[in-house]
């Protein structure tokens, strides 16, 4: 079939069903879902995008990729854990794409052909479910704990009837709450077990179910102790983390969505009969003729056919000075047309444009980051087998010791509860909350907890120049010009969109506008100033000659018969930009500049800032390639940039930051946003991230020590519900207080 993007796509038909049976009889999945309509073919390669539901960790990702890759005929498999999108590609003409969905189903994951709207809806639905589960668990925790405190306080005084009555009330609250709020953990644990492995949700589910089961048994048989409070409290604490994680995942997807929206804008297409029509950019194919009005952005790569205009390319190439268009010039998607309408020929469909390249870089970067294992993940990997082994050993040991199965089960549950991952679950999140809050007070917003760990590990910083180290807006550099001349020139500048004209207006301020203003494409602006003909523009237009690089940063103003006056414009550096290399060096961090700007501008700034490694005129792909090279050398790169051409590099770096004025796609691709006014804040961010990592390690060390002390008590049968509750709360309080020490650290 033919698609809107212009790429010829063909559907792969299923190979048929064994034994001549109808699809519904051979396999319900084949009857309900036919992925062949979603398979695309390009250059003899078939691809299928699948939305995978239920994958939550790096272990899930590797298992899915390894098993799908093992399907006969599949060449490559890549999954993005953040978005749930899996892309499989192959060249075999005999492969049935339904096999991919069946394989995912056999692994315990839901799978359907990828639909961005469905993916967004699924994440939104999951977030709402977690919020509701968390709210219910929080309500139950408060009420059950109130009842439990009454039981603990009445030891020796409360009669058995009253105690049993309070246990039954706790049961009536806790049982339905556990069934409702525990579903995220139970479903995940079942999925893991069915696929032949365990995850962190397995011991959580086991502890909750055994605690509730034993508590019901004790209540029915008039026992003294129950674990209703421990079960609902554990769910409440862990659901807080799950809900925050779901919110962060949703925000992490915005980069791809923003890029898709940029490619979905409407453009003006000129048909063969010269009739203009509005179409989606995604429907354009190579050879189409489009018109780009002044102020519009190029949605695809194109070649200029007619029209002279000024073009703002700094968000695409990093070039700070606007360029003048010329016939036959290639313009990349994302460039802004500043002054006059342009007619251009489409050079590539939206799927093959520079935006598409950036999109692929973003996808690769997100997939790479989704494999990053946080400190908590590493700790959990050790926690699960150790706790299960200890609990099972305690059960067997007590059965062999006195043959009392009830007591043995009670001890095993005590081990699972006392070693419950509350301290482990809070060790990292509580530090992240404090660190993110500390940075927020410095006008820095980090989008994920693992960003703290990744930034802390970075030993090499790459800066974009324009918009990051230098301000994207030009500033008037010429001094000593007669204020009257400045005001007269500003009267013309107020009628122009050119960045230098805007800089001139900013320097002079609000005022009158010249009469009969006309903007001349690629030259400047003319009109009547105080009744005299006046012009403001390029050296070639005003002087009648092109002075080359000497006039590249100048506007010339001529009024009447007076001699032309030159206005020179310079870049101005961000606050702290000239000192940032020295500050980073004191922290054992190397830095360099990768910029799409002109070589002389990059060199001049690098020399002034004391940065010895720099590269100019760099493309988005080149930036990502440089990061890959440093990564292969063992470097952990922190990328800092603001433009569309930085988005791929931001996504592929070990960690990344963007200034507040960055384009939406770059802000979404980065790990965090800072105000952008003072680049020196980068040093503070790195310091805070390193301090937070130290606090996390200290918390995990305490959690390990706590378990070493608590486990023997539980195994020996000395743990009561009261002791378990105190131990859980005490361990959580200690890791929280340790995290708050971050606010006492320097900076």
Which residues belong to the active site?
Answer: 464
DSSP state at residue 704: H
Q: Locate all alpha helices (DSSP H) within 419-517, ordered by sequence.
A: 422-427, 429-440, 450-457, 483-493, 499-508
Tokens of 110: 């839901």
Instruction: Provide the total of helices (H) and of strands (E) in the chain, helices listed first.
Output: 26, 27
Q: Which helix (H) or strand (E) holds 417?
A: helix 405-418
Calpha distance 562→352 (Å, rounded): 52
The residue assigned the tokens 């699960």 is: 384
Report, in this order, helix, strand and coil percent for the chain, each rounded to 5. 50, 15, 30
Q: What is the radius of gyration, based on Cα positions, of the chain?
A: 32
Q: What are the CA-CA distances from residue 316 to residues 472, 596, 637 (Å)?
A: 13, 8, 22
φ and ψ at 459, to 5 degrees?
-125, 10
Angle between helices 375-402 and 405-418 (to 10 degrees): 160
Q: What is the Cα–Cα distance from 736 to 427, expressed in whole angstroms?
A: 8
Dist CA 36 CA 618 (whole Å): 40
Measured CA to CA, the distance from residue 3 to residue 142 in angstroms comes to 56
Containing 503, the helix (H) or strand (E) segment is helix 499-508
Distance linking the first and last C-alpha atoms of the chain: 60
Which residues are 460's β-sheet partners?
A: 590, 637
> Residue 670's closest CA among 317, 295, 365?
365
Q: How far apart are CA 360 and CA 347, in angstroms?
A: 19
């Amino acid at each position: 079939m033919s698609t809107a993007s212009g790429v010829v796509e063909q559907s792969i038909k299923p190979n048929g069903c064994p034994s001549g049976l109808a699809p519904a009889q051979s396999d319900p999945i084949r009857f309900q879902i036919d992925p062949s309509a979603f398979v695309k073919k390009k250059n003899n390669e078939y691809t299928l995008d699948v939305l995978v539901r239920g994958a939550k960790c790096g272990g899930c990702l590797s298992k899915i990729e390894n098993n799908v890759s093992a399907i006969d005929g599949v060449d490559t498999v890549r999954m993005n854990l953040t978005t749930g999108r899996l892309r499989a590609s192959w060249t075999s003409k005999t492969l049935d794409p339904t096999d991919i969905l069946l394989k995912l189903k056999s692994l315990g994951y839901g799978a359907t052909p990828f639909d961005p709207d469905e993916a967004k809806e699924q994440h939104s639905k999951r977030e709402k479910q977690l919020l509701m589960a968390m709210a219910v668990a929080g309500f139950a925790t408060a009420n059950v704990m109130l009842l439990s405190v009454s039981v603990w306080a009445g030891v020796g005084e409360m009669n058995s009837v009253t105690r049993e009555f309070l246990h039954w009330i706790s049961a009536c609250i806790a049982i339905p709450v556990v069934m409702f709020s525990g579903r995220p953990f139970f479903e995940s644990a079942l999925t893991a077990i069915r696929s032949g492995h365990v995850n962190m949700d397995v011991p959580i589910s086991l502890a909750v179910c055994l605690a509730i089961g034993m508590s019901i048994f004790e209540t029915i048989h008039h026992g003294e102790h129950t674990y209703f409070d421990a079960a609902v409290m554990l769910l409440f604490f862990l659901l807080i983390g799950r809900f925050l994680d779901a919110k962060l995942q949703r925000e992490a997807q915005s980069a791809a969505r923003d890029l898709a929206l940029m490619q979905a804008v409407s453009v003006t297409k000129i048909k063969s009969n010269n009739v203009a029509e509005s179409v989606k950019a995604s429907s354009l194919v190579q050879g189409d003729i489009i018109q780009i009005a002044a102020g519009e952005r190029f949605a695809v790569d194109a070649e200029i056919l007619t029209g002279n205009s000024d073009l703002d390319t700094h968000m695409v190439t990093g070039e700070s000075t606007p360029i003048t268009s010329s016939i036959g010039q290639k313009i990349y998607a994302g460039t802004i047309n500043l002054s006059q309408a342009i007619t251009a020929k489409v050079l590539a469909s939206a799927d093959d444009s520079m935006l598409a390249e950036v999109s692929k870089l973003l996808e690769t970067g997100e997939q790479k980051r989704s494999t990053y294992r946080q400190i908590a993940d590493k700790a959990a990997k050790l926690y699960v087998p150790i706790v299960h082994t200890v609990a099972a050993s305690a059960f067997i040991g007590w059965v062999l010791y006195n043959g009392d199965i009830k007591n043995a089960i009670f001890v095993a549950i005590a081990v699972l509860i006392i070693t419950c991952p509350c301290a482990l679950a809070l060790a990292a999140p509580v530090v992240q909350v404090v660190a993110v809050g500390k940075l927020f007070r410095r006008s820095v917003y980090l989008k994920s907890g693992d960003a703290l760990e990744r930034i802390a590990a970075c030993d090499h910083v790459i800066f974009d120049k324009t918009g990051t180290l230098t301000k994207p807006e030009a500033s008037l550099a010429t001094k000593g010009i007669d204020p009257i001349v400045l005001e007269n020139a500003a009267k013309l500048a107020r009628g122009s969109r050119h960045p230098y004209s805007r800089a001139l207006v900013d320097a002079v301020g609000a005022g009158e506008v010249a009469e009969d203003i006309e903007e001349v494409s690629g030259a400047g602006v003319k009109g009547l100033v105080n009744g005299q003909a006046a012009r403001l523009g390029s050296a070639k237009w005003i002087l009648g000659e092109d002075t080359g690089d000497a006039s590249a940063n100048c506007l010339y103003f001529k009024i009447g018969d007076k001699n032309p006056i030159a206005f020179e414009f310079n870049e101005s550096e961000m606050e702290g930009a000239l000192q940032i290399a020295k500050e980073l060096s004191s922290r054992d961090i190397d830095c360099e500049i990768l910029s799409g700007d002109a070589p002389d501008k990059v060199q001049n700034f690098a020399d002034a800032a004391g940065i010895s490694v720099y590269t100019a005129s760099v493309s988005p792909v080149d930036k990502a390639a440089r990061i890959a090279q440093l990564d292969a050398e063992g470097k952990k790169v922190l990328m800092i940039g603001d433009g569309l051409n930085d988005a791929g590099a931001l996504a592929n770096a070990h960690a990344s930051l963007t200034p507040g004025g960055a384009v939406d796609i770059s802000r979404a691709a980065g790990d965090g946003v800072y105000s952008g006014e003072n680049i020196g804040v980068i040093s503070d961010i790195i310091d805070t991230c390193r301090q937070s990592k130290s606090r996390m390690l200290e918390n995990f060390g305490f959690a390990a020590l706590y378990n070493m002390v608590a486990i023997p008590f539980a195994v020996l049968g000395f743990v009561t519900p009261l002791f378990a509750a105190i131990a859980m709360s005490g361990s959580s309080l200690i890791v929280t207080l340790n995290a708050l020490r971050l606010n006492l650290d320097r900076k």
